[in-house]
Copies of this chain bind each other. A is one copy, B any other.
Amino acid sequence: MPALPKSLTAAMADTVEQVEAAVDVLLPKADLREARLYEAMRYGCLGGGKRLRPFLVMEGARMFNVNPACALRTAAAVEFIHCYSLIHDDLPAMDDADLRRGRPTVHLQYDDATAILAGDALLTFAFEVLADPETHEDPQVRCRLVTGLAKAAGPRGMVGGQMLDLIAETEEFDIGAITRLQRMKTGELIAFSAMAGGILGRASPPQLHALQAYAHDLGLAFQIADDLLDVQGTEAETGKSVGRDEGANKATFVSILGVERARDQARRLADQAAAHLDIFENRAEMLRQVASYVVDRKA
């Protein structure tokens, strides 16, 4: 496995730092009686995470010369949605997970009720951030961001995918059904992340379409790699509980395709994702490298 290029590693590390700072500034932290809510929101959003979705937002925005401050607000909004979904997903009533990013999950660190509310608050706050004139001066662009994020995160996107994920615990899912589940559960938000920079930069429809196609293949490659990590990774490497899918007897890409074919498929999807970016020529080099990163990562 080739080492990842220095430039990507450095760029991703930069984004992690920038997003951490932006999230810190955006999230409320007043010393009020409800401070516990703010603390749980911060705990669920700060201190770890690859920030893949924010990186896609930032890189997409860079290609269209978007003001980085605007891109960063959009990146933070996407991360709020991602983090809320992790908080709710980890609840005892859902996946009942103890560990996330190497730390106790939000409901263990606080309590179930606070975790539910912190998730609700992050979800709501994401839209407040996007609709704010500081995110973009053109309200038409802000409305497109709100629409895109709401569709990606809502019943026809992420939440619908999570419902399917629960149903997959008791019903048989074939490869087509698993693919649809994963496209909804993680693919739509990754696709929005890749397109958000284009929306901010008023990209042309063919450009947006290329970004969407890239992100769809990237999202699927990402998910197959996640399934492989669940089978082959360690808790120390991944910072979260592993072996959960097998324990739950849940169909995954790996359980259906086997390790070798799943790995081949992830590689193929990553190559295909990169190929969609041809129209951007050199400008998309970083996004192409992310595709390799996604299948070669250890966490």
**Chain A residues near B (Cβ < 8 Å):** 28, 32-34, 36-38, 41, 84, 88, 91, 93-94, 111-114, 116-117, 119-121, 123-125, 127-128, 130-133, 138-140, 142-143, 146-147, 149-151, 153-156, 159-164, 166-167, 171, 177, 184
The reply to whether A163 and B93 contact each other, CB–CB distance below 8 Å, is: no
Contact of A143 among B84, B88, B120, B139 (CB under 8 A): B139
Contact of A167 among B33, B128, B131 (CB under 8 A): B33
Residues on the B chain within 8 Å of A184, using CB: 34
Residues on the B chain within 8 Å of A151, using CB: 128
Question: What is the CB-to-nearest-CB distance from A178 to chain B, in angstroms, rounded to a whole number?
Answer: 11
The CA-CA distance from A139 to B153 in the complex, in Å, is: 21
Residues on the B chain within 8 Å of A166, using CB: 113-114, 117
Given contacts A112-B93, A123-B123, contact A163 B36 (CB under 8 A): yes
The reply to whether A163 and B88 contact each other, CB–CB distance below 8 Å, is: no
The CA-CA distance from A164 to B113 in the complex, in Å, is: 12
Nearest opposing residue in chain B for A151, CB measure: B128
